[in-house]
A and B are shown apart, each in its own frame.
Chain A
Amino acid sequence: MMTKFTHFLCDFFCLRKKFLVYNFVDRNLKISYRRSFLGLLWTLLAPFSMGCIYYFFFKKIANIATPHYLPFVLSGSLLWNFFSTSILMGTESIVAHTALLSKLPIPMQVFPLITTITHFVTFLYATPVIAIALWITQVPFSWTMLLFPFYILNLCLMTYGLALLGALGFIYLRDLRQIMQILVQIWFYTTPVLFDAKMIPEKYQWILIINPVGFFFQNLHEILIYGKNPPLYQTVSVLGWTAIILSAAAFCYNKGQKMAVEML
């Protein structure tokens, strides 16, 4: 029983296809900047300019009260960027590789995984920007910052689960691309990425609970900016959502993966 389960986990996370995943991630990263003049520097410049725009607009014009707003908005929007592009691109990833999947015995879940990892690595390239912003705005160091890697690992798992669910669904329902785009947009504004979760009025606080990444971004800001350990129920909620999404993805994958190649 246990061996069957570990076997399943190996397949689910493509642990036997590490070389394939590595090569495709490498390929994606190489070709996305190969022909541009500044190359990889764009991974730093693009989020930095985005952060500056948000900073100027929310801090200087809308006069948001949140302290250390620059690292606040940079950490949030960079992670949101990773999250949303992985899900949107991941949704299309299996169908986009129909030619390969119908000719070679490749497990189809590698493509959402590759998409997730590619965007995750792009995010990692941009993390110095967050560190610099923390340093510039003189956020005091706190041991809770050390939790950051665990948080992003958790987000990665959730992202992969959603990308895989989207990709499997997209095989059967080709409207899913448009549906996802709208959903992600709504999702962005119901998630405390640009604003503090405490700014949400009491009667709308439930949004944070039904939003799988709602508490995630609140916790993120708490450990990075405020140097606080988030309350237990918030952490449990995030872990719970991750577990739900991963199990749903594993269930659908287990059910649909064998027949799905024929449906491509």
Chain B
Amino acid sequence: MSDTIIEVSGLGKKFRMWEERADNLKTILIKFAQGNLSLRKKRYFQVLNNISFNIHRGEFVGIMGRNGAGKSTLLKLLCGIYQPSEGFIRVHGTIAPLIELGAGFHPELSGYENIFLNASVLGFGKKDIHKVFDAILEFSELKEYIYMPVKNYSSGMVLRLGFSVASHLTAPILIIDEILTVGDVTFQKKCLKRVHELHQSGKTIILITHDTAAIENHCKRCIVIDHQEKIFDGDAREGAAIYKKSLELSSTP
């Protein structure tokens, strides 16, 4: 629990209001004729507000929050897809996002070709793939089918291939978003086992989910986000309880 690998300080994120956006010529012309084509007066809404936390090397942290609490935005900020509006994020090392399995897969191409496609989308190079290629094949249990087009795979096979690629081409930090809730129970178990192996081998893992049981079982620490802000940071069991409470509060009229 020594060195900090991710440092988030005073992080805030605002988005433009969507209904005001004029992205076609007709709307722009109408707005212009009405005289309210406001280029300067932009309205924003806050998605995340003043979030600060540190994550240390080798931690297994869960992030929870209700729908719309800002989990996905936080994740995209961590991955560098969005830029923060306020505050900063410092990441010491590279992040591998396990956000979508099989990103970039093309149905007409074979599993073999798709492994390379998927890996390159995830930001890896030829050498990285060759190092783990056999392990990917083994884990996916698709050796006989690897030269078959992916469109002839069952959805379970596609998931297996996607997860095998994503979980073998890894960076020191892994961000996992909901993907462990797809597939059947056996597949989920296998995935979780693999995630644990990765954690054991010294990776830092951030798990983003609605599933309180998964957090309680796997994480030591958890962060709960609600109403754009961090409401809890600490023991996973306590956090899960707080998250459940926030759900109940919102569901009662």
List residues of A whose CB falls within 8 A of some B CB: 19-20, 22-24, 27, 30-31, 34-35, 100-106, 172-175, 258-259, 261-263
Contacts and interface: CB of A to CB of B under 8 A. Distances in A.
A31 B24 contact: no
B117 A23 contact: yes
A262 B106 contact: no
B25 A173 contact: yes
A58 to B, nearest CB: 36
A245 to B, nearest CB: 23
Nearest to B149: A34
Nearest to A170: B23
Given A104-B100, A104-B123, A261-B81, 20 more contacts: A19-B120, A20-B123, A22-B120, A23-B120, A27-B109, A30-B108, A31-B109, A35-B108, A100-B103, A102-B81, A103-B100, A104-B81, A104-B97, A172-B23, A174-B23, A175-B24, A175-B26, A258-B83, A262-B16, A262-B82
B99 A103 contact: yes
A104 B79 contact: yes
A19 B124 CA distance: 8
A105 B79 contact: yes
B123 A105 contact: yes
Interface centre among A35, A102, A262, A263 (most CB of B within 10 A): A262
Nearest to B76: A102
Contacts of A103: 81, 97, 99-100, 103
B16 A104 contact: no
A243 B117 CA distance: 33
B80 interface: yes
- A interface SS class: helix
A19 B126 contact: yes
Contacts of B123: 20, 104-106
A105 B80 contact: yes
Contacts of B82: 261-262
Contacts of B103: 100, 103-104
23 contacts: A19-B120, A19-B125, A20-B121, A27-B113, A30-B109, A30-B113, A31-B106, A31-B109, A34-B108, A35-B108, A103-B81, A103-B99, A104-B79, A104-B123, A105-B79, A172-B23, A173-B23, A174-B23, A174-B24, A175-B24, A175-B26, A262-B82, A263-B16
Interface of B: 15-16, 23-26, 28, 76, 79-83, 97, 99-100, 103-104, 106, 108-109, 113, 116-117, 120-126
Interface centre among B106, B121, B124, B125 (most CB of A within 10 A): B121
A132 to B, nearest CB: 31
A105 B106 contact: no
Contacts of B126: 19
Across the A-B interface, the 4 shortest Cβ-Cβ residue pairs: A175-B25, A20-B120, A23-B120, A105-B80
Contact of B116 (A23, A104, A106): A23
A35 B124 CA distance: 29
Contact of A262 (B15, B99, B125): B15
B77 to A, nearest CB: 11
Contacts of A102: 76, 81
A183 to B, nearest CB: 14
Nearest to B118: A23
A141 B112 CA distance: 45
A263 B83 CA distance: 13
B109 A105 contact: no
A173 B108 contact: no
A101 B28 CA distance: 26
A106 B123 CA distance: 8
A30 B25 CA distance: 37
A178 to B, nearest CB: 9
Contacts of B121: 20, 100, 104, 106
Given A103-B97, A103-B100, A174-B24, A24 B117 contact: yes
A102 B97 CA distance: 12
B36 to A, nearest CB: 18
Contacts of A35: 108
A105 B77 CA distance: 10
A173 B122 CA distance: 29
Contacts of A31: 106, 108-109
Contacts of B113: 27, 30
A105 B23 contact: no
A228 B100 CA distance: 56
A108 to B, nearest CB: 10
Contacts of A104: 79, 81, 97, 99-100, 103, 121-123
